[in-house]
């Protein structure tokens, strides 16, 4: 059983008013780079990106961080990612402040963006 951290990229980036809206791709890239070097307890990290943010990080695996480009909306991709990991028997932690998304991802432990931002 692995531990998986699923990151709602849009929600985490949007939690800090640092001008991310001027350069969504750059904000996604900075988050990805921070996740690569962060000392987090999970075995794997899945970063889900949507919209313009996808331009900042290519999809696929870099070390222990796997980037997923949502084909439409990020929430659907996050739900699918969480369900897939849970079906494998993994312990999943979801990082998002979106209460509706947390409810759709039953079985995953939910933490807010501030937790992750404090870690990285």
How high is the pLDDT of residue 61? 95
Q: Read off the pTM.
A: 0.94
How high is the pLDDT of residue 27? 95
How high is the pLDDT of residue 19? 84
How high is the pLDDT of residue 20? 87
Range of the domain at 101: 3-119
How high is the pLDDT of residue 18? 86
Average pLDDT, consecutive stretches of 10 residues, N- to C-terminus, the chain (120 residues): 95 89 94 96 96 95 95 94 97 96 95 94
Neighbours of 39 (CB within 10 A): 6
Contact call for residues 47 and 95 (beta carbons, < 8 A): no
User: What CATH number corresponds to the domain at position 44?
Assistant: 3.40.50.1010
Q: What is the largest CA-CA distance in the chain?
A: 40
The domain tally of the chain equals 1
- The radius of gyration computed from the CA coordinates of the chain, to the nearest angstrom, equals 13
How high is the pLDDT of residue 101? 96
């Amino acid at each position: 059983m692995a531990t998986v951290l699923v990151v709602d990229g849009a929600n985490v980036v949007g939690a800090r008013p640092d001008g991310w809206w001027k350069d969504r791709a750059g904000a996604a890239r900075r988050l990805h780079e921070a996740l690569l070097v962060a000392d987090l307890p999970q075995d794997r990290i899945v970063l889900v990106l949507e919209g313009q943010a996808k331009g900042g990080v290519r999809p696929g695996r870099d070390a222990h961080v796997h980037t997923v480009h949502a084909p439409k909306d990020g929430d659907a991709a996050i739900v699918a990612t969480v369900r897939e990991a849970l079906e494998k028997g993994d312990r999943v932690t979801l990082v998002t402040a979106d209460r509706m998304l947390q409810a759709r991802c039953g079985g995953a432990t939910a933490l807010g963006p501030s937790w992750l931002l404090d870690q990285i």
